[in-house]
Chains A and B, each alone.
Chain A
Amino acid sequence: SQTIHQWPATLVQPVGSPLSLECTVEGTSNPNLYWYRQAAGRGLQLLFYSVGIGQISSEVPQNLSASRPQDRQFILSSKKLLLSDSGFYLCATKRWSQGKETQYFGPGTRLLVL
């Protein structure tokens, strides 16, 4: 079965500093990968998704970027963090059950920008 690893688990960064969050997936090959952000009091917002190595689609224009250097590795980056980047960042994949797809989430990274 699939396992998603995310690190770091928590992060406190000053405004204007860079960011790199990593997600790796075990137990599957060529997964669809997603980055979501959950800000306080808000729903899950899809930021990026990827269907393969080097293929990234951006859902929300902002100061974040994503990369997929390897099949099961997905990285979220920023050159300069904003206060509004604070939130809970979740990596997700598709999981299939009884012929239907569902979204399966990793443990998340909690980011606080001060």
Chain B
Amino acid sequence: QKEVEQNSGPLSVPEGAIASLNCTYSDRVSQSFFWYRQYSGKSPELIMSIYSNGDKEDGRFTAQLNKASQYVSLLIRDSQPSDSATYLCAVIPGTYKYIFGTGTRLKVLA
């Protein structure tokens, strides 16, 4: 079973701070990586995808990928209380299947 691991949290950050979420994966052939946000009681929604080593920025979000170290991270700048949610990391390990981590719960304190 391919694995994607995340710290369950909660990760608490003050409003306006940078939140850093991390994810490691076990399958070296993985090529596609995703971050989903899931509010309590709702379905996951895609917020970032990344396919190449390095950084990818989209507004307040930056995804970072390091294939040699097999980790992918998500930075949220200027964190807002509305960012409080569970963030799921997902990987496609060279097949049709998405492998999801268990998620990190983020709490942004006003």
The interface residues of chain A lying within 8 Å CB-to-CB of B45 are 105
Q: Is the CB of A102 within 8 A of B101?
A: no
- Please tell me the number of chain A residues within 8 Å of chain B, measured between CB atoms: 20
Q: Kindly state whether residue B80 has any CB partner on chain A within 8 Å.
A: no
B35 to chain A minimum Cβ distance, whole angstroms, is 11
| CB 8 Å contact bits of B98-110 with A (1 = contact, 0 = none) | 1011110000000
With contacts A43-B88, A43-B103, A44-B88 known, is A103 near B98, CB below 8 A? yes
Q: Kindly state whether residue A59 has any CB partner on chain B within 8 Å.
A: yes
With contacts A41-B102, A42-B102, A44-B88 known, is A100 near B43, CB below 8 A? no
| Majority-rule SS of B interface residues | loop
Residue of B nearest to A45 (CB): B100
A residues in contact (CB < 8 Å) with B: 32, 41-44, 46, 49, 59, 90, 97, 100-108, 110
24 example contacts (A-B, Cβ-Cβ < 8 A) are as follows A32-B96, A41-B102, A42-B102, A43-B4, A43-B88, A43-B102, A44-B44, A44-B88, A44-B98, A46-B97, A49-B97, A90-B44, A97-B49, A100-B32, A100-B49, A100-B51, A102-B49, A103-B46, A103-B98, A104-B46, A107-B42, A107-B43, A108-B42, A110-B41
